[in-house]
Amino acid sequence: MSEQQFEPSVIAFLCNWCSYAGADLAGTSRIQYPTNLDIIRVMCSGRVNPLFIVNALQQGADGVLVSGCHPGDCHYMEGNFYARRRFTLMNELLNYVGVDAKRFNMSWVSASEGAKWKDVVEEVVENAKEAGPFEQFRRNKINW
Protein backbone atom coordinates (compact mmCIF):
# COMPACT_ATOMS: atom_id res chain seq x y z
CA MET A 1 0.00 0.00 0.00
CA SER A 2 1.56 3.31 -0.99
CA GLU A 3 1.73 6.37 1.27
CA GLN A 4 -1.01 8.19 -0.65
CA GLN A 5 -3.48 5.36 -0.50
CA PHE A 6 -3.15 4.68 3.20
CA GLU A 7 -6.39 5.55 4.94
CA PRO A 8 -5.88 5.39 8.68
CA SER A 9 -8.46 4.20 11.13
CA VAL A 10 -8.88 6.60 14.03
CA ILE A 11 -10.90 5.91 17.14
CA ALA A 12 -12.37 9.01 18.77
CA PHE A 13 -13.79 9.14 22.28
CA LEU A 14 -16.13 12.13 22.43
CA CYS A 15 -17.90 13.48 25.45
CA ASN A 16 -21.65 13.52 25.18
CA TRP A 17 -22.16 17.13 26.10
CA CYS A 18 -19.64 19.11 24.07
CA SER A 19 -17.56 17.27 21.50
CA TYR A 20 -20.25 14.88 20.36
CA ALA A 21 -22.68 17.77 20.03
CA GLY A 22 -19.94 19.71 18.19
CA ALA A 23 -19.53 16.84 15.75
CA ASP A 24 -23.30 16.75 15.38
CA LEU A 25 -23.31 20.44 14.59
CA ALA A 26 -20.61 19.93 11.98
CA GLY A 27 -22.86 17.30 10.41
CA THR A 28 -26.07 19.37 10.43
CA SER A 29 -24.08 22.33 9.10
CA ARG A 30 -22.92 20.08 6.24
CA ILE A 31 -19.27 20.73 6.95
CA GLN A 32 -17.12 18.29 4.97
CA TYR A 33 -14.41 16.44 6.87
CA PRO A 34 -12.50 13.13 6.58
CA THR A 35 -14.40 9.96 7.31
CA ASN A 36 -11.57 8.00 8.90
CA LEU A 37 -12.96 8.52 12.35
CA ASP A 38 -14.93 5.95 14.31
CA ILE A 39 -16.68 7.79 17.10
CA ILE A 40 -17.40 6.28 20.50
CA ARG A 41 -19.62 8.46 22.61
CA VAL A 42 -18.87 8.57 26.31
CA MET A 43 -20.55 10.67 28.96
CA CYS A 44 -17.44 12.64 29.81
CA SER A 45 -13.79 12.78 28.74
CA GLY A 46 -13.09 11.95 32.38
CA ARG A 47 -14.73 8.57 31.80
CA VAL A 48 -12.10 7.50 29.28
CA ASN A 49 -9.80 4.91 30.72
CA PRO A 50 -6.21 5.03 29.41
CA LEU A 51 -6.63 1.32 28.78
CA PHE A 52 -9.19 2.23 26.08
CA ILE A 53 -6.39 3.85 24.15
CA VAL A 54 -4.03 0.92 24.53
CA ASN A 55 -6.85 -1.41 23.54
CA ALA A 56 -7.80 0.67 20.51
CA LEU A 57 -4.20 0.52 19.31
CA GLN A 58 -4.10 -3.22 19.95
CA GLN A 59 -7.27 -3.77 17.96
CA GLY A 60 -6.12 -1.92 14.90
CA ALA A 61 -6.51 1.83 15.37
CA ASP A 62 -3.77 3.91 13.74
CA GLY A 63 -4.65 6.94 15.82
CA VAL A 64 -6.76 7.82 18.85
CA LEU A 65 -8.52 11.03 19.75
CA VAL A 66 -10.01 11.97 23.09
CA SER A 67 -12.15 15.08 22.99
CA GLY A 68 -14.08 16.86 25.70
CA CYS A 69 -15.49 20.18 26.81
CA HIS A 70 -13.22 23.14 27.25
CA PRO A 71 -11.72 23.35 30.75
CA GLY A 72 -14.26 24.95 33.02
CA ASP A 73 -17.20 23.92 30.80
CA CYS A 74 -17.49 20.29 31.90
CA HIS A 75 -21.05 19.15 32.36
CA TYR A 76 -19.87 17.43 35.51
CA MET A 77 -17.85 20.46 36.64
CA GLU A 78 -14.43 18.83 36.75
CA GLY A 79 -14.31 15.64 34.70
CA ASN A 80 -12.19 17.13 31.96
CA PHE A 81 -9.68 18.49 34.48
CA TYR A 82 -8.99 14.94 35.59
CA ALA A 83 -8.89 13.81 31.98
CA ARG A 84 -6.35 16.49 31.22
CA ARG A 85 -3.91 15.26 33.85
CA ARG A 86 -4.52 11.66 32.98
CA PHE A 87 -3.96 11.98 29.25
CA THR A 88 -1.07 14.36 29.57
CA LEU A 89 0.65 11.53 31.44
CA MET A 90 -0.63 8.85 29.08
CA ASN A 91 0.70 10.83 26.15
CA GLU A 92 4.11 10.95 27.80
CA LEU A 93 4.04 7.20 28.44
CA LEU A 94 3.09 6.28 24.87
CA ASN A 95 5.83 8.54 23.59
CA TYR A 96 8.32 7.10 25.96
CA VAL A 97 7.81 3.51 24.85
CA GLY A 98 8.22 4.63 21.27
CA VAL A 99 4.65 5.03 19.98
CA ASP A 100 4.67 7.87 17.44
CA ALA A 101 3.55 11.06 19.20
CA LYS A 102 1.20 11.80 16.31
CA ARG A 103 -1.02 8.83 17.08
CA PHE A 104 -2.54 10.09 20.26
CA ASN A 105 -4.42 13.38 20.24
CA MET A 106 -6.64 15.23 22.61
CA SER A 107 -8.82 18.23 21.95
CA TRP A 108 -11.39 20.51 23.48
CA VAL A 109 -14.37 21.03 21.19
CA SER A 110 -17.55 22.66 22.45
CA ALA A 111 -21.08 22.07 21.20
CA SER A 112 -20.93 25.26 19.14
CA GLU A 113 -17.59 24.53 17.50
CA GLY A 114 -18.59 22.56 14.41
CA ALA A 115 -15.91 24.34 12.44
CA LYS A 116 -13.23 23.59 15.01
CA TRP A 117 -14.31 19.95 14.96
CA LYS A 118 -13.55 19.84 11.24
CA ASP A 119 -10.08 21.31 11.86
CA VAL A 120 -9.41 18.84 14.65
CA VAL A 121 -10.46 15.85 12.57
CA GLU A 122 -8.38 16.99 9.62
CA GLU A 123 -5.34 17.39 11.82
CA VAL A 124 -5.83 14.09 13.63
CA VAL A 125 -6.30 12.17 10.39
CA GLU A 126 -3.34 13.92 8.82
CA ASN A 127 -1.27 13.00 11.89
CA ALA A 128 -2.30 9.37 11.67
CA LYS A 129 -1.50 9.33 7.95
CA GLU A 130 1.96 10.68 8.63
CA ALA A 131 2.50 8.11 11.35
CA GLY A 132 1.47 5.32 8.97
CA PRO A 133 -0.16 1.99 9.80
CA PHE A 134 0.25 1.11 13.46
CA GLU A 135 2.01 -2.21 13.79
CA GLN A 136 4.02 -2.07 16.97
CA PHE A 137 1.69 -3.96 19.24
CA ARG A 138 -1.33 -4.71 17.14
CA ARG A 139 -3.08 -7.89 18.13
CA ASN A 140 -3.71 -9.38 14.73
CA LYS A 141 -0.10 -9.02 13.75
CA ILE A 142 0.72 -11.67 16.30
CA ASN A 143 0.74 -15.13 14.84
CA TRP A 144 -2.18 -17.05 16.31
Minimum gap (Å) between residue 98 Cβ and other proteins: 3
By C-alpha distance, which of 17, 116, 108 is closest to 67? 108
Among 106, 111, 125, 128, binds other proteins (CB under 8 A): 106
User: Would you count residue 29 as binding other proteins (CB under 8 A)?
Assistant: no
For residue 126, give Cα distances in angstroms to 9, 31, 131: 11, 17, 9
Supply the DSSP symbol for 34: -
Residue 139, interface with other proteins (CB under 8 A)?
Answer: yes
**Closest separation in Å from C-beta 14 to other proteins:** 13
Rule CB under 8 A: say whether 72 interacts with other proteins: yes
Residues 6+ apart with CB under 8 A from 1: 133
Q: Where in 7-96 does DSSP place strands (E)?
A: 10-15, 37-42, 63-68
> Does residue 96 interact with other proteins by CB under 8 A?
yes
Query: What Rg do the C-alpha atoms of the chain give, in angstroms?
Result: 15
Size of the site for other proteins (CB under 8 A): 44
**11 touches other proteins (CB under 8 A):** no
> Does the protein bind other proteins through residue 56 (CB under 8 A)?
no
Q: Which one-letter amino acid corresponds to residue 39?
A: I
Interface residues with other proteins (CB under 8 A) are 50-51, 54-55, 58-60, 71-72, 78, 81-82, 84-86, 88-101, 105-108, 120, 123-124, 136-142, 144
